[in-house]
Every structure is written in C-alpha cells, then in structure tokens.
Structure 1
Amino acid sequence: MENTREQWSSKFGFILATAGAAIGLGAIWKFPYVAGMNGGGAFLILFIVFTVFIGLSMLVSEFIIGRGAKKEAVSAYKKLAPNSFWVHVGRLGVVGCFLLLSFYSVVGGWIMLYSGLAVTGNVISADANYGQLFDQITASPWMGLVGLALFLILNVIVLSFGIKNGIEKANKYLMPLLFIFFIILVVRALTLDGAMEGVRFFLYPDFSLMTSEGVLYALGQSFFSLAVGFSCMVTYSSYLNQKESIPQAASSVAVMNIFVSILAGLAIFPVVFAFGLEPAEGPGLLFIVLPSAFSQMPLGEVFLAIFLLLFLFATLTSSFSLLEIIISAFTEDKKRSRIKVAWVSGMIVFFAGIPAALSFGILENVELFGMNVFDLTDYLVSNIMLPLGSLLIALFISYKMDKQLVKSQFRAGNSLSSNWLNTWIFLMRYIVPLTIIIVFVGLIIG
C-alpha cells in the first residue's frame, strides 16, 4: 500500500507547497501589525533569531515524523507509537486544523470580497470611509457567508486533484505570482517621498522600544509562522521522497518565510510612514490603513488590487495545508474517494464557520468568556491548542520516537556532520520545550 502512495514530483514542488502552507495570514497580515506595535526593527531581529533556532527545529521534527512514518498525521503517530497516548497528537492536529480553518476561511472570504471590489475599482473613492467599509463587509450576513463559501470552494477544487495535480500545481503558479507581486509593491513603496522613515523603523533595531511582551510576541510569531504545531507538516512530509534532505528542505522553507516577512514589512511600512499613518494600528492595518494610504498615490487602486490579490494567494496556499490534513485523515486507507471526502469536508467546515462569519453581525452579542465566536475560536486554537500540540510533538520526537529512525531521517539525503544532528537534538530536548512552555504560559496569562 505504501509503495502506491502519492508523492511530490520534486523537492522544489515540496518546498513551494510547504512554504505556501507557512506563508499565509501569519506572515503577511499578522507580522506587519505585530512588528508595528512592538518596535519594528528590534522585533524583526528577534523574530529571525527565534525562527532559526526554534521554528526551524520544530519544522525539521514534523518532517521527520511524517516521512519516517510515511503516513498522514493521525496514522503517523499510530504507526510510530501504537496503542499509546501519543496517537492523540495526530487527532489533536486534525481537530485544530478544522477549527482554525473554520475562522481562517472567514478571513479568506473577506479578502476575496475586498479583492473583487478592488479589481473592479470599488474600494478607493474620494469620500470613502475605510473603517466603515470594513465594518459593512464583516457585519453583512450574506457577504460573510458568500465569501466563506467561495473561499472553501476554491480550496476543495484544488485539493480534489490530489498532491501533484492539485496542491503542488497550484503552488507552482501562486507562489511565483506572490513573489512577483511583492517585488512590484516593494519597488513602488520605496519610491514614495518619506518612505525611508518606514524602512528605518522596520530595519533599524531600537531595542529601547522592545518590551517583554514584544519578546513574547516575536517568539510566538516565529513559531507559528512556520505552520508547525498541528502536524500539517507531518502530512505534507509524508509525501516526500526518501532521497531528499529534510534539514535542507526545512531550511529553505524557513528562509523563504523570513524573506516574505521582510518583503511584507518593506511593502507596508514605507507606505504607512510616507502618508503619516500609524504603524501600530493593529489588525486593521491591511483592511483600513493601507486602502487609505493607497488612495493617496497615483494608480493607488491598481496597487491596492495587486496587494489584495497577493494576500489572497498567500491565504489560499496556507489553507490548502489545513484542509489537506483533514482530507488525508479520511483517505489514507484508500477506501474513500478523495473528491467526495474533499467536498464533504468543505461543506462541514462551511457550516462550522457560519457562527464565526456572523460574529460581527447578527451574532455580535453572543459572547462566551467575553469573546464572540470568531475571537473565542481564534483564542482556543492559537493560544491553547497550537502551543499544546507543539509541546507534545517536541516531547514525542525527543523522548518517544525510535532514536535510530530519527537519526536516519535527519541524515538521509545530506552530508551534514554529526554536530548538526547533535545540536538539533539538544534544541529539541531542552530549549524548544522550555520555549514553548514560556510562550504557552505567556499567551494564557496575556
């Protein structure tokens, strides 16, 4: 059965797909506003350091688990640690991805609606109130549900075609377009009067602006931006050829993720500073502040449309991995049709996402623990399930998984010295779990 299992057609295809899974709302939406709220350049430096030492180590771990088992997330832990507590780690990942996708797709729907309005020239106008426009889109029941449905339909169509012809092929088009659009936006941003103030804010590290909370955010951002913690990468790497080097592939993904985060900062902060806007705006930075800024420059509607399409591409490539872990969990035994499972999964996620989609409209007064459904789901997934899943994965590969299998997977396809292996083992046994616990406690207390 394992010999007939589908694989990525090449390492490049795997890296593009994995980078696409990591480069989503975290890198393009969350990173700029969190960096803006926490000192700019100082935050960037800490983010890079934490990504290299913490996030990358976790990414290597999920790759080793996935390719070592040659199974999707649920079956991987069953195979590597049968009849034990650890089989629940994969199930936690599936449930976490399901909940994450239920509200992630709501944001994806907003982006689709914004993209459609921008492409047709209906966002920027002389008398536009961008905060009011955002409120109208998020509060409208039919716009929220239509956006949610369209976003999920796109995901289902792509994933119905499988790994090579679906996810890999889509990423081969979307990821290059993402980088091309980013370059266009960065060039335009850097040519604005006053843009260098934004560049200085983003690239010059002033650690006097950094707080202990900012350090915690940098740690969490570096960790979560690589899409580790829910075993999505376990599923993706289960399709990876045994000849490929896991450390090299993981390093390529981490470098691409850092590069995109830097591009996002260079595309956004020069524009914000050039027009005297506030870099610490928060989550509304992309939907409210940037349309206001683009409205003040020549061809602003065109550049806004490019930015929103870029944002949409990144959101899609990331959501593919979330839906894939759900689909693969029910198609691993080859007894169910992938197409049917994809459509059924999409429909279930749609219905699960309805409360989140209506959280800013007719359900805005429905609260639990002081949060609406959207915010509560986000909090549960990001602050509890994701750190918990990450900690369990770190403990599993460090103390439960067969040591010889771990070492053979780390060494396969590369000529790295044993020092690299020993360094990674030390990080995973001691540094990474401690770091995750710090982030976990900080997020809960915060």
Structure 2
Amino acid sequence: MVATASAQAGEQGWSSRTAFILAAVGAAVGLGNIWRFPTLAGENGGGAFVLVYLVCVLLIGLPLMLSEFVVGRAGQSDAIGSVQRVADESRVSRRWSIFGGIEILAGFLILSFYSVVAGWVLYYIWLSGGDFFGNLFAGEALRGAFSDLGQDAVSGMMGDLFASPGRLILVHALFMTATIAIVASGVHDGIEKAATWLMPAFFFLLLGITIYGAFTGDFGRAVTFMFTPDFSKLTAPVMNEALGQAFFSLSLASGALITYGAYVARDVNLAPTAATISLADTAVALIAGLMIFPIVFAVGLDPSVGPALIFQSLPVAFQTMPGGSLIGLLFFVLIFFAALTSSISLLEGPTAWAIDRFGLRRPAAAVMLGLGAFVIGIACALGYNVWADVRPLGFWDIFADADILDTIDGFTGKLMLPLAGLLMSIFVGWKADRRLVEVQTGLSGGLFVLWRFLVAWLCPIAVALILLFGLFPQLLG
C-alpha cells in the first residue's frame, strides 16, 4: 500500500531531475550560506576554516545527504513513514523511525525562529527600497545607501527593529504567510514553481553583486583571506565549527531531504544528483564570501564582527559605495530568496507528515503547522523586547544566557539535528538492507563500498563529535 505522501509524489512530484535539484539546492541554500558561513569564516580566520569546511562537506555532508535521499525514495513517504518502510523491508525495528520524528520536530522548531530572522531581511528590504527609490526620484540613484544618515544611525537600525514588537511580528507574519502559501499550493504547483523561479534569480543576483564587489571592493584581499590557510588558526574549536557548518548548511536532519527524496522519480540517479546539490550549495557559500568580504575589506570593516556583519556592518559599507542604494536593496532581496526556499522545505517536512498521519488536505496541513510555527516565532520576537529577560533553559549552562530565539536555535542545532543525524547514519550504515540501499544510490563496486564506509564509520564519529562538543563545549578547551 502506497502512503499518502508517496501518492502525492506520483501525482505531482518533481517534473524532472532539474526541478528536484533546484528545489533541493533551495532547501540547502539559505541564511546558513549567506549569513552564517561568512560570519564563521570571518570569526575563524578565513582560509583554514574554509579548507576544513570543504573536506567535511565532501566526506561527511555529501554521504549523509545521499543517505537521506535514499531513505526518502525507498520509503516513499514523510520522514517517519519512510524510515518505517525501510525498516520493514530491512527486517529491523520500526523504532528507528524516532530519528525521522526528531527531524520533523526540529524542522518545525527551526522554521519558527527562521521566519523571525527572515523577517529582519524583509524589514531591510523595506528600508533599502525606500532609500533607493527616494534617491531615484531625486535624480541621485547612484548615491550610497542611507547616505543621509550617520554610521551610528545605520548600525542602529537593527536596534530600532528589535525595540518594536509590532514591527518584528509584522515582518515575521509576512514571511510566514509567503511560506505557507507556497507549500499549500503543492509539490509541483507550489514548491517546484517557486524553486524554478527563485533559484535562477538568486544565482543571477549572487553573481551580479559578487562582480560588483570584485570591481569596487578589495577582491584580492578577500581571495587571500578565504583561500590562504593560516594553519596556526586551525584549533579544535575552529575545526568543530567547520564540521558543524558542513552538516547544517546542507539542510541535513531537518526532515526536508527525506521528504524531497520521496518525490523523486525512480529513473533519477541519486548519487550524482546529491553530488550536484552539494557542489551547488558549497559554491554558494564560497561565492557569498567573495561577495561580502571585498566590500568589508574595502571600507575597513572587521570581518570577525560576527552575526552583526550582514545587518549592521554591510549597510554601513553600502553608505560609501557608488550605487550603494541599489546594491543594498538587491543584496537583501538575494537573502530573502535564499531564506524563502529554505523555509519552504522546513514546512514541507511537517506538512507531509500531517497529510500521512492524519489524512489532512495539503492546504489545511500547511496552514495549521505554519500557524503553529508562527505562534512560537512570536515568542522569539518578543524575546528581544517584552520578554528580553526570559531564559527558557537558564538552568542549563550552555543556555544560561540565551534568549528565547537563541534557546530554540541552540537546542535544535546542538541536540536535535546532530542526534537525528547520528541515528540516521547508523541506520543507513548498519541496519538498512544492503541491497535495498545499493539499488537506491545508483552506486556500485568500489564507490558503493566507499560511500557505505563513510556513512557507517566516519559520519557517526563526526556527528557524535558535533553532538558532544555542542553539549559540552568546555571539552574543546
């Protein structure tokens, strides 16, 4: 008997391999690539971090991504149903589906705060758009962004946003509404069409702004910073950060990839497809660094300022650059496209589960779960003002100083995602039927043996380290 999500896959799944690649790249490419990767590279010395990150993507991220696609296509259902079906065919306990449940819950919780952060992007699009069109109508379209404001005022725009609960909730609501509308429209008519339009536009903007930065910024210094390893900075914490970024940037263990894998046609070869998606995602992260760091270096900003780099430092940089008002607007539109394609995948996993488990119609499932994530997101937004003193897990040392959003972010990132990834690698590497898995991967001979070795041995060790050092950071020294 074919599950509900499987039926959807047959009736309105991906229309082609290209559509699947665009949707999966959209799931992987998000704020983690455009915001988190440059932030971590800047904080951890550039080249050494990038080198370890690339090795981890190849040896850990790619094998795990292929594993999730394998489970999804073999199971032809949501994350839980797919694991159960593979477990049945492998004659092992259905209890292994617990990691599918963790993935779905993690994706739902991530969506709740992800939408809040993406709302900040919408706010900056509004500010940048007003600035650009104001300059355009004044006949000064090539002025720098926010050139009438001082640097303190530009840097303080985010503080103004955080101080306004109404604004935070409004932009959060707008972003969540867009996400719900796309997922409610279906796999083909919603998710695939969105990816087909948004991802090419995203890559066009990414390359365009990178070329702009190469000519107006300090491109040579950016290349040196990113691709000349300083091995004196290759400490244990840096290596762990790179390992974690490789794991998280590919959207692993959030329920999205298993669910997307269930919609893949049987004639699609998963191994080269997963390689293409991983390569595209990694390329986006590297190009994002080459887009941001030339601008940062050109105006004398500190690349190690951390999360403030995107929302506070770069708007200051756009102040002084030719055409800065237009580039600032396009920059935040670019981030919006990346955030939206990822949020769609985060909602699709829980939605597919609700359809399978409760027999709900897709629009009802998407609206119900989207509203649930929205409500949790309101608490995250209020954590910056009305509930600024609330520390949900203040009794736990690693969350003692974390506000509501950072608590959910930390709990999912440090515990739920690594735990689900660990269980998944053990399940695929040790428990799933070898012949079933081999047929799904499309690999054979030495390549299959290598992949199976990486999934069964290296990946569990690496993900266990992410879990261990995330919960006990003092072990890193």
Q: TM-score normalised by the shorter chain: which range applies?
A: over 0.9
Counterpart of 1:5?
A: 8
For residues 282 and 295 of structure 1, what CA distance do their matches in structure 2 show?
Answer: 20
Matched, 1:78 2:78: no
Q: Deviations over 1:219-251 (max 9, x none)?
A: 110111101112320000000001111111100
Q: TM-score by structure 2 length?
A: 0.90
Contact 1:18 1:236 in 2 (8 A): yes
For residues 362 and 455 of structure 2, what CA distance do their matches in structure 1 show?
Answer: 35
Matched, 1:313 2:337: yes
Contact 1:92 1:389 in 2 (8 A): yes
The residue type paired with residue 347 of structure 1 is: L
For residues 360-439 of structure 1, the aligned pairs below 5 Å read 360-367=384-391, 368-369=393-394, 370=400, 371-411=402-442, 416-439=443-466
Counterpart of 2:171?
A: 147
Counterpart of 2:27?
A: 21
For residues 98 and 23 of structure 1, what CA distance do their matches in structure 2 show?
Answer: 18
Greater mean alpha carbon deviation, residues 349-358 or residues 26-35? 349-358
Counterpart of 2:117?
A: 107
1:115 CA displacement: 1.0
For residues 7 and 289 of structure 2, what CA distance do their matches in structure 1 show?
Answer: 43
Contact 2:147 2:320 in 1 (8 A): no
For residues 317 and 110 of structure 1, what CA distance do their matches in structure 2 show?
Answer: 16
Q: What stretches of structure 2 of length at least 5 have no aligned partner?
A: 133-144, 395-399
1:286 CA displacement: 0.2
For residues 85 and 174 of structure 2, what CA distance do their matches in structure 1 show?
Answer: 37
Q: TM-score by structure 1 length?
A: 0.96
The residue type paired with residue 61 of structure 1 is: S
1:346 CA displacement: 1.4
Q: Deviations over 1:358-406 (max 9, x none)?
A: 1111111111322211111111010111100100100111122222111
Matched, 1:125 2:128: no
Q: Deviations over 1:67-109 (max 9, x none)?
A: 0111111211222225632121111111111111111110011
Contact 1:230 1:390 in 2 (8 A): no
Counterpart of 2:202?
A: 178
For residues 27-426 of structure 1, the aligned pairs below 5 Å read 27-81=33-87, 84-121=94-131, 124-128=146-150, 129-192=153-216, 194-332=218-356, 335-367=359-391, 368-369=393-394, 370=400, 371-411=402-442, 416-426=443-453
Contact 2:217 2:297 in 1 (8 A): no
1:193 CA displacement: 5.1
Cα distance 1:193–1:33, how it changes in 2: closer, same or farther (>3 A)?
Answer: closer
For residues 157 and 198 of structure 1, what CA distance do their matches in structure 2 show?
Answer: 39
Q: What stretches of structure 1 of length at least 5 have no aligned partner?
A: none
The residue type paired with residue 8 of structure 2 is: R
Contact 2:155 2:315 in 1 (8 A): no
- 4+ long deviations beyond 4 Å: none
The residue type paired with residue 194 of structure 1 is: D
Q: Deviations over 1:283-311 (max 9, x none)?
A: 01000010011111011011011110000
Greater mean alpha carbon deviation, residues 138-147 or residues 234-243? 138-147
Contact 2:255 2:346 in 1 (8 A): no
The residue type paired with residue 236 of structure 2 is: S
RMSD: 1.5
1:417 CA displacement: 4.2
The residue type paired with residue 99 of structure 2 is: V
Contact 2:14 2:20 in 1 (8 A): yes
Counterpart of 2:469?
A: 442
Cα distance 1:363–1:333, how it changes in 2: closer, same or farther (>3 A)?
Answer: closer
Aligned length: 442
